[in-house]
Structure 1
Amino acid sequence: MPIIPPVTANEPLTAFDRLLTIMNDLRENCPWDKKQTLESLRHLTIEETYELSDAILGNDMNEIKKELGDVMLHLVFYARIASETNAFTITDVLNSICDKLINRHPHIYSDTDVNNEEDVKRNWEQIKLKEGNKSVLGGVPASLPALVKASRIQEKARGIGFDWENKAQVWEKVEEEMQEFRQEYNAEDDTVIDQDRAEGEFGDLLFSLINYARFININPENALEKTNRKFIKRFQHLEERARENGKQLQDMTLAEMDVYWNEAKTL
């Protein structure tokens, strides 16, 4: 089978056709590709999406390019599998998203007037309800990680005007939830607590913090992941310095570990 050469000019349609042709070749001739189903690809697609996320957080443009290609391959793969049972084709997929974008941007493709981004979001949610969505929150996937889901729920509610008026009100809510959590889990003594109630209050506190982050344009998922990475980098420095000095972390005091931890904070 002849190898299809890469597109050298800036011709995205030709490059996309190359991918479709290769996908068809693999589906018809490669033992692994022939065995795949929508279900078998699902967990691989999730993995590829996380790899793309890692590349974006690392601001690695070359990796972003490669991971986008992996994700695009999966999208084409799903469409090819669906076409084999006449469920839909890649053309149907592309027409569907184009039609949706046109319908949900009446300020571009019709005569609706908008003043700002918030008007666009509000129109988007109202149009979705007209299209048959029973709830504004219906489009939030149930399987989303809780932190991401909280952000999306709040954004959806804001889209129809259900929101705080200003960030000062949101911060008051944060302080209120903090106080309620302290009442359930007093850090100053060892009183037995109601675990379910404490968990509920802690959830309320996190939800209010995520709300405040939204008001000051901080993405809580990105913020937490950056802190995760910072902690990992500093902890691995601690481990490396301990090895250099012939020590085991479990045998060191917290004060000894803090010396290396503070070193890491200056790097």
Structure 2
Amino acid sequence: SHQVEQNWEQIKLKEKGGNKTVLSGVPKTLPSLIKACRIQEKAANIGFDWKHKNDVWNKVKEEIAELETEITSNNTDNIEGEFGDLIFSIINAARLYGVNPENALERTNQKFISRFNYIESKATASNRKLSEMTLQEMDALWNEAKQQNK
């Protein structure tokens, strides 16, 4: 199937009126996470990819280091750019490991909501407001929620 995808990209580039460049077929209006997936798939289909999937982790580490450098310099624009680079490299890692990053993120969103709701319900049951609780108290309840969801 990978060979078919590679051939498809080559055919689209050769067709009259087809894509002028490899990435021109990626709609500009896609949500950023999905667009990143498509960009990386198209680049991989013409051979711009890691030889070994575990090599992607060096890139992720490099992006983390670059982000930390920009955070230290407190340059907001560069920080945003480096966060983008880090997210892009993590999406690439997900692709290499056969994980749909949209599904993975939604799974984590739901897990967070469930755990946070647990904290909130425990606070309500003890007639407390979340804003009055310490981070340590909330963290202890978070850990209870984690144990219950195993």
Q: Do the two structures share a fold, i.e. TM-score over 0.5?
A: yes
Matched, 1:165 2:51: yes
Residue number in structure 2 paired with 1:118? 2
Residue number in structure 2 paired with 1:107? none
Residue by residue over 1:87-128, the C-alpha shift from the partner in whole angstroms, topping out at 9 and shown as x without a partner, is xxxxxxxxxxxxxxxxxxxxxxxxxxxxxx210111121222
Larger radius of gyration: 1
> Which whole-Å CA distance do the structure 2 matches of 1:264 and 1:159 have between them?
42
Percent identity between the aligned chains? 58
Identify the match of residue 145 of structure 1 among 20, 27, 31.
31
- The alpha-carbon deviation at position 169 of structure 1 amounts to 2.6
Identify the match of residue 71 of structure 2 among 165, 185, 189.
185
Root-mean-square deviation (Å)? 1.5
- Unaligned 5+ runs, structure 2: none
Matched, 1:243 2:124: yes
Higher RCO (CA-CA < 8 Å; seq separation 6+): 2
Please, which moves more after superposition, 225-234 or 125-134?
A: 125-134
Ranges of 4+ aligned residues in structure 1 off by more than 4 Å: none
- What aligned pairs does 1:1-267 form with structure 2 within 5 A after superposition? 117-131=1-15, 132-186=18-72, 193-267=74-148
- The alpha-carbon deviation at position 168 of structure 1 amounts to 3.3
> Which whole-Å CA distance do the structure 1 matches of 2:31 and 2:85 have between them?
16
Aligned length: 146
Residue by residue over 1:195-242, the C-alpha shift from the partner in whole angstroms, topping out at 9 and shown as x without a partner, is 111111121111111112211111111111110110001111111111
Question: TM (normalized to structure 2)?
Answer: 0.89
- The alpha-carbon deviation at position 129 of structure 1 amounts to 2.0
Question: TM (normalized to structure 1)?
Answer: 0.52
Find the residue that maps to 2:127 and give its secondary structure.
Answer: coil
Amino acid corresponding to residue 201 of structure 1 in structure 2: E
> Which whole-Å CA distance do the structure 1 matches of 2:46 and 2:60 have between them?
23
1:124 to 1:196, Cα distance in 2 relative to 1, 3 A: same
